[in-house]
Structure 1
Amino acid sequence: MKKLFALALAVAMSALMAVPALADTSSDSVYPGGDVEVYGFYDKDGNEAPDEGSWDLDYYGLSYSFTKGKQYVKDVYVEDGCVYLRIVTGIETASDKEIRGTVRMRDKESKDTYTAEINDLYLNASEASPIYETNAGEFELPYDYQTNKVKFRTEDGEDIGTLYANFVNDNYETLAYFKVKVVEQESLYLGHNQNDDVEFMKKYPNANIRFLNWDSNPTFEVTGTLGIVMEEDEYLYQRKADGSLVAVSGTYNEDRGTFDFKTNTLGQYVISDQKLNASGSTASSSSSAASSKPASSSTAPAPSSSSTAPAPSSSSTAPAPSSSSTAPAPSSSEAESSSSEESSSEESSLPEESSEPESSEPEESSEESAPAESDETDNEGGLPVVPILIGAAVVVILVVLFVVLKGKGGKKKYDSWDD
């Protein structure tokens, strides 16, 4: 009898070994925005996966499917050698929701596949935890704000005041502060995470990046002040729904070690030790390209070595006066562009001080180029007065002498006529 019993027990154990085991998750329930580990991978013969707990996607391919609750699963990913399910944030359910599915890891070299079945995993029904009042008109978040919806009303019915939210990580280290006025605010999910986006980080291999995400994008009715803990020399960006980056404008709070800015929506944020470009590179790696001017730049070409400035086209500058043969003064846009490069002549690098353009004709002498004094000219032609007066005086003197001399010589003649 004992031999028969031992034989039956051995057969039963062999049959159980041939059936793939169900995944034994770290918890039989999960909250919106939460993660749950999946383990218990076996091959088709019931053999345990050799690399479980140290999965490497360089050697294994990950695949999964769900027969129930697929809409509640945001992602399945591998981190530190373990497989996790990530639940969508901000889901509202009146009752617990079951999640069923299969996760597979396939050896890329041997083609062996190891499977874990997900059963008896439930998404908890939506709950709302009330805020609590610390002082008159001052509120703080409930302890379970990461998993439950926050109801902005105390147990005593207070719903008007100022919320001082302190967002912390699993080690109770502060990640951010949020101060906002509460005025009959509707319930919100305020759960956050620091999940890495590996694909995003690959775009910026030279930068040290970390994340702070409110996946449900909770929006308050009143604008408040959000302060994210970071170093003063770090850079803060917000990731939009389309994946684009926007630099956040604000001020650094040295007392708290936070970067503070105004907002009514908590979103997805990227903290980096380097400036990031939307094109997928750090600013330092593209600085040389940014500093060089493109070939199609609108900057005017450098003037020639001639001292006479070339006349600009009629479409960009005012026409030159018809009565002058001098080159017109450069336009404001040409003056700005020429100020950034060295010019071969003073006329092209500095604006003219005089309102009248200088003559381009060569100077004949220093006397002719010197301006005439105002008391030496009285006509528009600018003829010199002194030489004219001197010449007139000489003519008068000559006429007087001529008359006098002629009078002396003609007296005898006149006398002889009298005779």
Structure 2
Amino acid sequence: MGDYFSPQKQGGQINSMIANQDSLASIYAVEQLYDKDMFNFNICIEDFSIQCETDDDLCIVNPKNKIFIQLKTASLTNRSFYQIMDHFLESYKKSHHKENYFVIATFSEFKIDGKNFKQRLDAYRQILNDPNEVFQKKNDVKQELLNDFNLNKYSAFIDMLCIDSRPLLKDNKDVTAVFSRYLRLAYGLKDHKERIINEIYEKLLKEFEQARRTRGYVTKDTIETIIGKYLVKDTAFDKFKLLSRHKKVDYGYVKKEVENFQLIKIEEGCSKAIKNIFHDWRQTYKKEFWKSIFAGAKPCLECGHPMNANLNGLRGIACPDCGYSPFVTIFSACNCGHYELIKSQPELDETKIFKYINEFYTVDRKCSKCNTFLSDEYFEFRVVMLPLPYPFESYKNIDKIRKNRKS
């Protein structure tokens, strides 16, 4: 846009009070991870970036949509409200490459000519989003809103406007509580420690501060990486006592009297699941197995040695010489021995692995066979990673992988 270097858009780079913008951006970041349509625009923003001081104070963008966000820490007056609306109208007219939406983020309630605009706008949006309401009713309510607040000038984008009012000042003690709530909703697979949550919040603040000062952006991948690096530290090693069948005494180790150990049951369930996985794999792979016995295993894509490790592929395709494997799959195992896919061909990075596991173990995840609750405090022990493709039939893609390797 032609006014990219206008004083209005450069203000956040030099105004120290705009640090409140960083706290708002941090909360929007984790809220967007949890709720793909947090402003109820009837859109789904999956992958996204949060831009700082580019075309607005904040912008949440993906290839199809752009949400322009104006932040006001002080109380809005009639004059400042209509200035924001004029700014939004200008952005609406200039930006034609995406579906545009507009948010006024305020830290306090405000009124226009003594009337609560947010309340009236929310009431209109309720009717607007009702799929069973007739167009004429929606249009009548819209026109009433436009007339009462002198907004006819902005009728083209009033349907794409939201007022987000909440006291998210950087130094407000409630801000970290709000951040913690949305983080737990987005990463609800375990109860994270307050210390770790505070570290994540401070790290995101610094990330958005840097983006604001350089007029840059923070991607969803960066946000997830920051969160993952801290949450992955909160591992399950403190559960070791529950896993052990023995306890230490002065003269050695004796078996515990209690026999009903949850983690031991999970461990036994994993063993059953692995047996079932390999059984199903052998049923699918047996023709290729016998073919490799008589004609030779396929050559390794790394070193050329026949990939005849793991009993010629019966326990996973791999090269015995260099260790190369063309396939890896992460499964979830249930106590009953049933298994389900978490991720096929995963990225082997700790933050990516954490993301896959978090997406699978939702708060209500249950075994699809026996209905056992899987998203409990022991979910880490249910994860199994094996050198197999999934679906199993996709082992036939090895020739395609070889072709891609050569190209």
Name the TM-score, length of structure 1 as normaliser.
0.19
Which has a greater percent of strand? 1
Which has a greater percent of helix? 2
Name the TM-score, length of structure 2 as normaliser.
0.20
Higher relative contact order (CA 8 A, sep 6+): 2
